[in-house]
Every structure is written in C-alpha cells, then in structure tokens.
Structure 1
Amino acid sequence: MSPWIFFRNALALGALMTLLAPLRGEGGVSVSVMLQWVPQAQFAGFYVAQDRGFYARRGLDVRLVHGGPHRDSARALETGEVDFSTLFLATALVQRDRGVPLVNVAQLVQRSSLVLVGREDREVRSPRDLAGRRVSLWGDAFEAPYRAFFDILAISVDAVSQHRSVNLFLRGGVDACCAMYYNEYHAIWQAGLDEDQIEPFFLRDWGLDFPEDGLYTLASTATRSPDLARNIAEGTLEGWRFAQASPDVALDLVMRRAEDAGIPANRPHMAWMLTHILPAIFPDDGGSDSPGKLSREAYLRTARILERHGIIRHIDPFESFTLDGVSRVP
C-alpha cells in the first residue's frame, strides 16, 4: 500500500470515528428520553433504572429530560430534540394521523386514570351538568380523550387552559377541571376540598379506558436500532419492577428529582401517586395486557373510538405502530 493511500484511509477512519464519538458516552451509547411532565412519581421507574444502573448494564448512557405544559414531548421527538419520549396512546395516534412516524417501544401504563372533577357547589353532579360550563383542560397533547368524552355526551364546554396546577379550580375560577386520579385528584383533596365537595367522572366508565404512558421513538430509530429500543424498554421495565418491590427507595429518588428541578412536591402525595399508578402498569385483573406490551385489541379499540369521533382520520396497521412489527420489516 502506498503512503498516500494509507494516509487517505487513516484520514477517512478518523473522520468516521469523530462522527460516531457523540453516540457513545463514558457509560455507553448516549440516549435522551423526554418524560412528558414535570418530575414526579409517574416516572419513578425511569429514575430507578438510571440510578440503579439498569440502563448502564445494557450499555446505555441515558439522559432524562422533562416536558410539561409548555414543553411538548411529541414535538421534541418529532424534531429530533430527543431520541425517545413518553406519550399517551391517544396522543401518539393523533400524531401518527398528522404524519409523524411514531413507533411504540413499550406500553407502560395499561389503564386510564383520566378524570374530570366537578364542584358540588356549582351543582356539577353528573357529566351532562358540564354542558356550557367553564372547564379547565390541558392542551393539545392530552386533549383527545376529553374530546371523545364530550362527543359521547353530545355536549360542549367553555374550555380554558389548565397548566401545571389546579389552582384555578381550587379558587372557583372554573366549574370543573381535568385530572389524573393518581395526581391532581389527590392534590385537590390535599388542598382542602373533601370528597363530598367534588364529583369525579372517570373517562374509563364511559368506554374510554385508553392505555396511557407509552415509550415512543421515530420509525427511523426503530428500524435502524431495534436493539437500542429494546434495551431502553427492558431497562425501564426493570426500573418499574424495582419500584414496585421497593417503593420507599423509589420515592427517595422521586423526591430528589423534584427538589433538583425546583418542583414543589410532598412525599405523601408522591406515595399516593406511586401506589395508584403501579396497578395500571402491572394490572392484576385477569386481562390480556402484559407489562410493557401494547396489545392489538387495546390499540384497535382506542384508534376506532378516536376515528369514530372524528379525532383521527385513519388507522395505521398495528404492525407499523409497534417495535416488534417495525423491526421485522426487511
């Protein structure tokens, strides 16, 4: 080999290594994951997986970042700001319908905890009492199930924006607010409104028991790096199993994350959240849902309801929506 050819090949190899270097950190392959809300027990399994080395054991150097009312995790994934994001299934279906090629890597939360909470002193005692009332709702990323709910009831509401807290509801600025049973519902109770002063309406009681938090990536990542996606999913599930077995350790990590982010949090509320989200991740009700897996039945049921109510226009094949299906495509 001539010296010139050797020098040219060495330069090419050096350039290639420079390009690949950012993909691997000291602890393994660098991966970013956006969790769709602020630090709280809803994401305990991720914190555990990072802290206890469940990701590192799989050759991953995972960076966890948080979304929130003003930071859309679906948008961050679409633009390439992050490699993976958590999203509700309904949100992911809406994004697919808009042309964003999302793929479900793991279905973490198998059951719905969405609820609308009405004020008894405003005579909101049934869902139809919400007609024409002021109701605070989260934005675009979380609205699909509520749109279907109002369509089933054939009512419209005076919707106002709800951000990170339920203060507007607590101060009487709205007649009802949206909530997660494991989060805002308990926060309302902690703030001093007793159960006989509020009326919860669970969306699952109206046929809208949609799976919620799932882990998603773009189809390009799923097809290019299926093992990476599986390792993220497996490490996260191991974190959730640890949180289920050792909730006090998991809560310590949750409180530390909230404190580091400057997010007000109290341990009893985080304990309530963890206690009530775990059964939705590991259901023990005789159903067909396996931890971490999105079932075809749940996918089609959710998609058909959204299509029926005009929230999405078409339903993609189940195989094109899941990691197992996409990674089998030649």
Structure 2
Amino acid sequence: MMKAILLRLACLLIMMGGIGHAHATDAPRRVSVILDWFLNADHAALLAAQYGGAFARHGLDVHLIAPADPGAAPRLVAAGQADLAVSYQTQLGMLSEQGIPLVRVGTLIDTPLNTLIAAGNVRSLADLKGKVIGVSLSGADDAVLATMLSTVGVGMGDIHQVNVNFQLEQALMSHSVDAVMGAVRTYELIDLKQKGMTVTAFFPEEHGVPLNDELVFLAARDHIRDPWVRAFMAALEEGTNTLLNHSDEILSKAIADHPELDTPLNRAAWRETLPRLAKQPALLNARRYRAFTAFLRAHGVISHDVALETYAVDPFALVPETTP
C-alpha cells in the first residue's frame, strides 16, 4: 500500500513540475493557437489569460491566429504548422476515424451552442414538416437535425434541405428558407433578434441529442504529454477565473486592441458566453464523450467504434514520458 501511495505521489510531483511557473531565466515557450473563426466572445477566456498575465506566469508566449478558412485549424495542427486548434467535439470522432492524429486536450466552451432557428409561423418542431431548412455542414449536423425532428415524428424526407454555404442569417432574413440548422445561440440568434426578426430557437440537447462540448482544443497526438500543454491549460483555468471576476475590464482591454469587437452584438455575446465557459478546461467528462461518439456511430456519421483515449484526454491524468 505504501509503495503504491509513494508511486502516485511521484507521478503527481512529475506533473506538477511540468506546470510550474517559469523561472525568470527561462525563455517563454511560444504556443500558436489557430482559432475556429474570427476573434469573438467565444475566445474571451484566452484573452483574459493573456491580459491577466496567466500565460506569461506559466512560461508561455501565446499567439492567437484567426484562420482564413474556418475548417483549416485541425489540418494546420496535424501538419505541424500550429500547436493547438480550437475546434468542435462534434468533429472528433470523424477526425479519429480518418486517422488524423489529433487529440482533445482541453475545452473552451463546455455546453452546446449549436441551434436550429426558425422564422415565420414555425412555433414548434412539428411545424417544420414540408418546410425548407438551410444547412451549411453535413455529417454531425444532419444527425442532430434528424434526431430533433424524429422526436415529433417528422422525418428527413418530410423537409427540404438546401446548402446555404455558411450564410445562415442571410438565408433566413431573405426568406429563402424557413429555418437554419447550425446557427450559434450566442451569435446568430442574438444578431437576428437585434435586427428585429421574430425567431424561434430549438436547442438540440432538449430534443434527443446528447450533451457535448462546443469548442475544444486539439493537439497533435505526439505532443499531448508535453509540459507546455499542461501549462497552457493551467493558465487558461486562471484566465477563466479572472474573466468571471473582471469581465467588463477584460472586455474593455479586448475592445482597445480589437475595435471590431465594440458592437452591440459582441457586447451581448460576451455576456451570454460567460456562463458557458469551461471552468476546468483540462477536465474530461469521459461519460459524455463516449455517449456523443456512440450517437455519431448510431447515426452513421462514423462507421465504427472509436476508443476514447485515441481522441480525447485530460493532460493532467497522463504521466509524462521520460527520456532515457
């Protein structure tokens, strides 16, 4: 028993050594983070970790990069051109099945943001029968939409789908569709209401879809035990707490550096996003992840079962590899 306790303590000390604050003589480790989209309220915790000095205290020089292509972040990390990608849990199973060596090492937003938004006389999911629904992605979004409709006895053959190429708001506002699948409740939903549209939102997790993390951090599998990964997650946890305590101050600093954030939409999105931040970014909810992967498997989004450890880890639960 004593030997086991000492072994566990040794492992803990090794991990703690990897996340300790940098010494004054240590050069900061540069970490490039490719965002999922342009800089917005979803990234508030990252900004707080920068402005509050958490990244610097943990020996990191973090660079946030908005991609030209919203789908490029995972590919850039897999190609070794960036350290971390902000991506979606809904994509993890597909990336793993395709053999792309990326692993979830942390979470930014731990509640779903994906939403089905309808306009006009649609007041319930059943009202969507015979309607036109705009979509921008296939795969997981198709499975989510099919599941939601099935709860009211509506099949995919009972609706008309059109690809609107990420122009979800424009399609709804132009009345070319009756609803859109894949809009974000902390962005498009707010914007549509601010523009005076009367809309109804349906949330997947309330209509048969398992809970999932919206935004996660992906790292190359070869680097998941690197000390900088744990340092990044420890700093982000500190930054999130700073943000919750000083959200207005962090927003003011963000607007000073990024004037494009100074809009009614972004200010409202900032407030709406705060309660959705992952308070313990590294923590992995294994039950939820397995349930969502099983959901993707059941709906044919992925073709076979995928072991959790191949696509998602808690970096603090990993014993760092030792060099001979």
Report the TM-score, using the length of structure 1 for normalisation: 0.78
CA deviations over 1:265-310 (Å, ceiling 9, x no partner): 4443223222222222258xxxxxx554121111111111111101
Distance 2:132 2:27 in 1: 50
Q: Which of structure 1's runs of 4+ aligned residues deviate more than 6 A?
A: none
CA deviations over 1:114-145 (Å, ceiling 9, x no partner): 2111112xx333324435543333346xx614
Change in CA separation of 1:254 and 1:127 when aligned onto 2, cut-off 3 Å? farther
Distance 2:77 2:47 in 1: 20
Shift of 1:57: 1.2
Partner of 1:221: 223
Change in CA separation of 1:255 and 1:135 when aligned onto 2, cut-off 3 Å? farther
Change in CA separation of 1:254 and 1:40 when aligned onto 2, cut-off 3 Å? farther
Shift of 1:158: 1.6
More off after superposition, 298-307 vs 214-223: 214-223
Distance 2:163 2:141 in 1: 16
Residues 1:172 and 2:175 aligned together? yes
More off after superposition, 209-218 vs 268-277: 268-277
Distance 1:115 1:159 in 2: 17
Change in CA separation of 1:273 and 1:116 when aligned onto 2, cut-off 3 Å? same
Shift of 1:50: 1.9
Partner of 1:150: 146
Counterpart contact for 2:58–2:235, Cα < 8 Å: yes
Q: What SS does the corresponding residue of 1:303 show, helix, strand or coil? A: helix
Distance 2:147 2:98 in 1: 21
Change in CA separation of 1:151 and 1:203 when aligned onto 2, cut-off 3 Å? closer
Change in CA separation of 1:27 and 1:104 when aligned onto 2, cut-off 3 Å? same
Q: Which residue, out of 264, 267, 270, partners 1:271?
A: 267
Partner of 1:81: 81
Partner of 1:210: 212
Q: Structure 2: which amino acid aligns with 1:274?
A: W
Counterpart contact for 1:149–1:206, Cα < 8 Å: no
Residues 1:200 and 2:191 aligned together? no
Counterpart contact for 2:115–2:201, Cα < 8 Å: yes
**Number of equivalent positions:** 286
Q: What SS does the corresponding residue of 1:55 show, helix, strand or coil? A: helix
Residues 1:62 and 2:96 aligned together? no
More off after superposition, 98-107 vs 171-180: 171-180
| CA RMSD between the two structures | 2.6
Partner of 1:301: 291
More helix as a share of residues: 1
Distance 1:315 1:257 in 2: 45
List runs of 5+ in structure 2 lacking aligned partners.
1-25
CA deviations over 1:8-40 (Å, ceiling 9, x no partner): xxxxxxxxxxxxxxxxxx961111001101111
Q: Structure 1: which amino acid aligns with 2:32?
A: S
Q: What SS does the corresponding residue of 2:46 show, helix, strand or coil? A: helix
Partner of 2:195: 191
More off after superposition, 29-38 vs 272-281: 272-281
Report the TM-score, using the length of structure 2 for normalisation: 0.79
Change in CA separation of 1:211 and 1:105 when aligned onto 2, cut-off 3 Å? same
Distance 1:146 1:278 in 2: 28
Distance 2:276 2:76 in 1: 26
Distance 2:40 2:318 in 1: 32
Q: Which residue, out of 314, 319, 326, partners 2:309?
A: 319
Partner of 2:14: none
List runs of 5+ in structure 1 lacking aligned partners.
1-25, 284-289
Q: What SS does the corresponding residue of 2:233 show, helix, strand or coil? A: helix
Change in CA separation of 1:237 and 1:145 when aligned onto 2, cut-off 3 Å? farther
Counterpart contact for 1:108–1:215, Cα < 8 Å: yes
